[in-house]
Amino acid sequence: MGDTKTIFVVSDVHGHYTLLQEALDRAGFDKDNPQHLLVCCGDYFDRGNENVQVLKYFEKLHHKVLLRGNHEDLLLKLLQTGKVLPHNYINGTMQTLENFFGRYSIDPIDDTIDFSGKTRTVDRICAFIEETVDYFETENYVFVHGWIPEKGDTAEARRAAGGDAWAKARWIKWTERYTGNRPLADKTLICGHMPSFYAANRTEDDSSIFCGEGLYAIDAGTYNTNRVNVLVLEDDLL
């Protein structure tokens, strides 16, 4: 047996710091308790207006595991290139930049952003994203953002999967892969990315955690529902 922790799992906060804190308080999370571990399955930013507060909170938190979501990939690429693409508007990345940098200047000719004079903040956000991980495993659970890579149903395959495979997996919607059978033979999969109200026979009024055979889907669709789901587990760390 390993080190047993109470694990609090959230996902897809999307810049909603206040809702996150309220949900963690209700769930009983104590950031100063070394037996409490907060796992976030990605998508920290975009769409909400409290992105700065979200960054500061997760930076200062000690007992944590932070996974990378597809929105982190989008934000990192924009910060590194300065090149604005249409999906940056659709996915809320531009709103995040306004939170971090105030009113930014977009060149109308080539759709670029000038980050000169803002390199410290850019470096800080990039460093945060680059420290996130593709997935996390405990004795009985595997935590991901969207789904596992193709043929990633064993621990060995997950360890061997490259960064490109995990980047693709972050975009996979669990509703398109989950068949009602266990996704993993020996562990339960926990994912975000796709709101739980997209489960069969649900409406947007039901954004509670989806509990299936071998699967928890915890994304509450926060930017639509003003709700953050918190899954609380007891398990041993590896």
Locate the domains of the chain by residue range: 4-236
CA distances from 129 to 19, 103, 203, 237 (A): 21, 22, 33, 23
Would you state the structure tokens that stand for residue 225, as one six-digit string?
A: 């529902």
CATH number of 4-236: 3.60.21.10
Q: Is the pLDDT assigned to residue 77 strictly greater than 60?
A: yes
User: Are 69 and 159 in contact, with CB atoms under 8 Å apart?
Assistant: no
- Residue 152: its pLDDT value, please? 86
Pairing mode, strands 64-66 and 36-40: parallel
What's the token pair of residue 125? Answer: 């956000």
Element (H, E) at 222: helix 222-225
Q: 84 near 145, Cβ under 8 Å?
A: no
Nearest to residue 34, comparing CAs of 237, 238, 192? 237
Mean pLDDT along residues 28-52? 97
Q: What pTM, to 2 d.p., does this model score?
A: 0.95
- Express each pLDDT in 103-146 by its tens digit: 766 776 677 888 888 899 999 999 999 999 999 999 999 999 99
pLDDT in tens, 166-202: 999 999 999 999 999 999 999 999 999 999 999 998 9
CA 198/CA 202 separation, integer angstroms:
6
Q: Which two tokens stand for residue 215?
A: 């699967």
C-alpha to C-alpha distances, 142 to 38, 100, 202, 216, 235, nearest whole angstrom: 14, 32, 25, 10, 11
The conformation of residue 209, written as its DSSP 8-state character, comes to P
